Amino acid sequence: MSRKIWVFDTTLRDGEQVPGAKLNQYEKLEVAYQLKKLGVDIIEAGFPSSSAGDFNAVKEIANKVGNTDDIMITALARAVKSDIDAVYNSVKYAEKPLIHIVLGTSDIHVEKKFGKSKNQILDIGVEAVRYAKSLLPNVQYSTEDASRSDFEYLWKTIEAVVKAGATMINVPDTVGFAEPEEFGELIFKLNDRLKNLNDQVLLSVHCHNDLGMATANTLAAIKYGADKVECTINGIGERAGNAALEEVVMAMNTRSSVYQAYTDIHTKEIMNTSRMVSNFMGLDVQVNKAITGENAFAHSSGIHQDGLLKSRDAYEIISPLEVGLDDMELVLTARSGRHAVKNALTKLGFDRLTDEQFEEIFADFLEMADEKKEVYNHDLVIIVENYFTEK
């Protein structure tokens, strides 16, 4: 029987931790709208205690994107009251707000990072959950560095925070140390105990890519019982990045008999989302990156081209149309009319422009087209960005 896997997107929090990838408030809001269109279940919109700018961006996303009950909006807090207050005061405007608390469980974190005993850290975590729970019904607890933690202490922590009211438990492979078999087994053991304790609590995973195994570890966790996965678009994130949403989702779709699980992601929005994130953050997608790389669906060898022409499935396991790649990618020129430009903007996710905004952007487009002759998607993004920044 196929079961639903929740998709939690952290492009705007873990993804935005990439050096040089900072977004302004307008860009964050646009990405959040696009993530909603993509069909993610939860958006982690930022780390509000880090700056007033981040706080305001989370608040605006909660207000405008979180205004329906088909999406949850969350943000990150350390296990301290001021962080939890900042999250509460920014996400509370959403229909379904969630407070996300993180605190380490490995000896390295407990002893070396915090210089405390395991019992002291456990008490801090429980207190933080109790406080968050007094503010909102939905609380996620992340056991940072879980994959390098002592299993019994990890479980003791999870048991205590669930009893204190946590509704989601997230198990991070914070430094990308795990490997699939081992991580799958960890999730299997935790899931078994958790479901006995409280079968309403969701078990989640958050994998980093330091050894190139974030997607594999996430998929192993799904096989072994995880209910929810944390991902980013194009796999961006701290250091080598996080599990790439598009890879996890398309692996589940393409090999559905293996995973027996589904997500609510609208896969045709994958390319639009990938391009928007890449353009706004100024982070090129590796050309051979699975699913969203420029060459992911390109076939160059004569033998492959010949095979494809006879039967596409000879060398294609996913149709490019499934991920929203258009067979007809138009290059715009000064002769392209309003219709073509509007169509290109809509595909890039800019589908909420007023008539007046569109006319002004179209004028900027004509100016650029006169100068450059050919206008590509990334040029259009720059035009829209400049338009809104100058406003």
Binding residues for Mn(2+): 14, 206, 208, 242
Site membership for ligand KIV, residue 54 (CB under 6 A): no
Site membership for Zn ion, residue 14 (CB under 5 A): yes
Contact 74, 84 (CB under 8 A): no
> Near ligand KIV by CB under 6 A, which window of 23-31, 170-178, 359-367, 371-379?
170-178
Nearer to ligand KIV, 170 or 267 (CB): 170
> Nearest-CB residue to ligand KIV?
172
Nearer to ligand KIV, 27 or 238 (CB): 238
Site membership for Zn ion, residue 227 (CB under 5 A): no
Distances in whole angstroms, Cα of residue 183 to Cα of each of 142, 259, 301, 331, 389: 16, 16, 38, 45, 44
Site membership for Zn ion, residue 173 (CB under 5 A): no
Q: Is 341 exposed, middle or buried (0-12, 13-18, 19+ CB in 10 A)?
A: buried
Residue 375 β-bridge partners: 332
User: Residue 151 corresponds to which tokens in the numbers above?
Assistant: 């299993």
Nearer to ligand KIV, 23 or 369 (CB): 23
Length of the chain: 391
List binders of ligand KIV among 172-191 (CB under 6 A): 172, 174
Q: d(Cα 315, Cα 242) in Å, to the nearest integer?
A: 28
What sign results for the dihedral spanned by CA atoms 324, 328, 329, 335?
negative
> Using CB under 5 A as the criterion, what x/- string covers residues 102-141 for binding Zn ion?
----------------------------------------
Binding site members: 14, 206, 208, 242
Contact 98, 169 (CB under 8 A): no
> Near ligand KIV by CB under 6 A, which window of 35-43, 167-175, 261-269, 352-360?
167-175
Nearest to 127, CA basis, from 89, 165, 156, 90: 165
> Near Zn ion by CB under 5 A, which window of 12-20, 23-31, 156-164, 297-305?
12-20
Site membership for ligand KIV, residue 247 (CB under 6 A): no
Strands 261-262 and 228-231: unpaired
Residue from 49, 106, 142, 215 in contact with ligand KIV (CB under 6 A): 142
- Other CB atoms within a 10 A radius of the CB of residue 164 amount to 18
Among ligand KIV, Zn ion, none, residue 102 binds (CB under 5-8 Å by kind): ligand KIV
Number of residues in contact with Zn ion under rule CB under 5 A: 1
Instruction: Give Cα 239 to chain centroid, integer Å.
Output: 16
First to last CA, the chain: 52
Nearer to ligand KIV, 102 or 122 (CB): 102
Nearest to 91, CA basis, from 58, 118, 51, 136: 58
Q: Which residues bind ligand KIV (CB under 6 A)?
A: 14, 76, 102, 142, 144, 170, 172, 174, 206, 208
Q: Which residues bind Zn ion (CB under 5 A)?
A: 14
